[in-house]
Protein backbone atom coordinates (compact mmCIF):
# COMPACT_ATOMS: atom_id res chain seq x y z
CA UNK A 1 0.00 0.00 0.00
CA UNK A 2 1.14 3.54 -0.75
CA UNK A 3 2.55 5.17 2.42
CA UNK A 4 1.21 8.54 1.25
CA UNK A 5 -2.34 7.18 1.50
CA UNK A 6 -2.05 4.98 4.60
CA UNK A 7 -3.41 7.04 7.51
CA UNK A 8 -1.81 6.30 10.88
CA UNK A 9 -3.61 8.97 12.94
CA UNK A 10 -7.22 9.39 11.84
CA UNK A 11 -7.92 12.34 14.15
CA UNK A 12 -5.18 14.50 12.61
CA UNK A 13 -5.04 12.76 9.20
CA UNK A 14 -1.32 11.91 9.55
CA UNK A 15 -0.01 9.42 7.00
CA UNK A 16 2.64 6.75 7.27
CA UNK A 17 4.81 8.79 4.90
CA UNK A 18 4.73 11.73 7.34
CA UNK A 19 5.66 9.49 10.28
CA UNK A 20 8.53 7.91 8.31
CA UNK A 21 9.76 11.39 7.37
CA UNK A 22 9.73 12.38 11.06
CA UNK A 23 11.79 9.29 11.90
CA UNK A 24 14.28 10.17 9.14
CA UNK A 25 14.51 13.66 10.70
CA UNK A 26 15.54 12.12 14.02
CA UNK A 27 12.34 11.29 15.93
CA UNK A 28 13.05 8.31 18.18
CA UNK A 29 9.99 8.26 20.45
CA UNK A 30 6.26 8.82 20.12
CA UNK A 31 6.40 12.33 21.60
CA UNK A 32 8.96 13.42 19.00
CA UNK A 33 6.73 12.08 16.25
CA UNK A 34 3.80 13.91 17.85
CA UNK A 35 5.68 17.21 17.82
CA UNK A 36 6.76 16.81 14.19
CA UNK A 37 3.51 15.46 12.71
CA UNK A 38 0.61 16.17 15.14
CA UNK A 39 -0.10 12.42 15.37
CA UNK A 40 -1.74 11.81 18.74
CA UNK A 41 -2.99 15.38 19.16
CA UNK A 42 -6.56 14.73 18.02
CA UNK A 43 -9.73 13.92 19.92
CA UNK A 44 -8.55 10.46 21.02
CA UNK A 45 -5.24 11.89 22.36
CA UNK A 46 -3.31 8.94 20.94
CA UNK A 47 -5.54 6.13 22.26
CA UNK A 48 -5.83 4.76 18.72
CA UNK A 49 -2.52 5.65 17.08
CA UNK A 50 0.02 5.36 19.92
CA UNK A 51 0.47 1.60 19.48
CA UNK A 52 0.74 2.08 15.70
CA UNK A 53 3.45 4.71 16.19
CA UNK A 54 5.35 2.38 18.53
CA UNK A 55 5.14 -0.43 15.97
CA UNK A 56 6.43 1.83 13.20
CA UNK A 57 9.30 2.99 15.44
CA UNK A 58 10.16 -0.61 16.30
CA UNK A 59 10.14 -1.60 12.62
CA UNK A 60 12.21 1.38 11.48
CA UNK A 61 14.64 1.77 14.39
CA UNK A 62 14.92 -1.79 15.62
CA UNK A 63 13.76 -1.10 19.17
CA UNK A 64 12.04 1.44 21.35
CA UNK A 65 13.89 3.39 24.06
CA UNK A 66 14.25 1.46 27.33
CA UNK A 67 11.78 3.72 29.13
CA UNK A 68 8.39 3.64 27.44
CA UNK A 69 7.42 7.23 26.69
CA UNK A 70 3.67 7.62 26.52
CA UNK A 71 2.20 10.49 24.57
CA UNK A 72 2.16 13.59 26.72
CA UNK A 73 -1.41 14.78 27.26
CA UNK A 74 -1.92 18.51 27.08
CA UNK A 75 -5.40 19.74 27.94
CA UNK A 76 -6.49 22.61 25.71
CA UNK A 77 -7.59 24.76 28.65
CA UNK A 78 -6.44 25.36 32.18
CA UNK A 79 -8.77 24.12 34.93
CA UNK A 80 -11.06 26.51 36.78
CA UNK A 81 -11.93 25.85 40.39
CA UNK A 82 -15.57 25.48 41.40
CA UNK A 83 -15.19 28.30 43.91
CA UNK A 84 -14.06 30.62 41.10
CA UNK A 85 -17.15 29.76 39.10
CA UNK A 86 -19.41 30.32 42.10
CA UNK A 87 -17.76 33.66 42.87
CA UNK A 88 -17.88 34.90 39.28
CA UNK A 89 -20.17 37.85 38.67
CA UNK A 90 -22.95 37.21 36.22
CA UNK A 91 -23.80 39.87 33.70
pLDDT digits (tens, 9 = 90+) for 59-88: 998 876 655 556 666 666 677 788 888 888
pLDDT in tens, 31-44: 999 999 999 999 98
* CATH topology for the 7-87 domain: Arc Repressor Mutant, subunit A (1.10.10)
Whether pLDDT at 3 is above 80: no
pTM exceeding 0.85: no
12's CB contacts (< 8 A; 6+ apart) are 37, 38, 39, 40, 41, 42
Amino acid sequence: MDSDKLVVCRCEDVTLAEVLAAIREGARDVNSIKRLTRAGMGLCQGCICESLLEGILRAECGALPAAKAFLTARPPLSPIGVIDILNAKTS
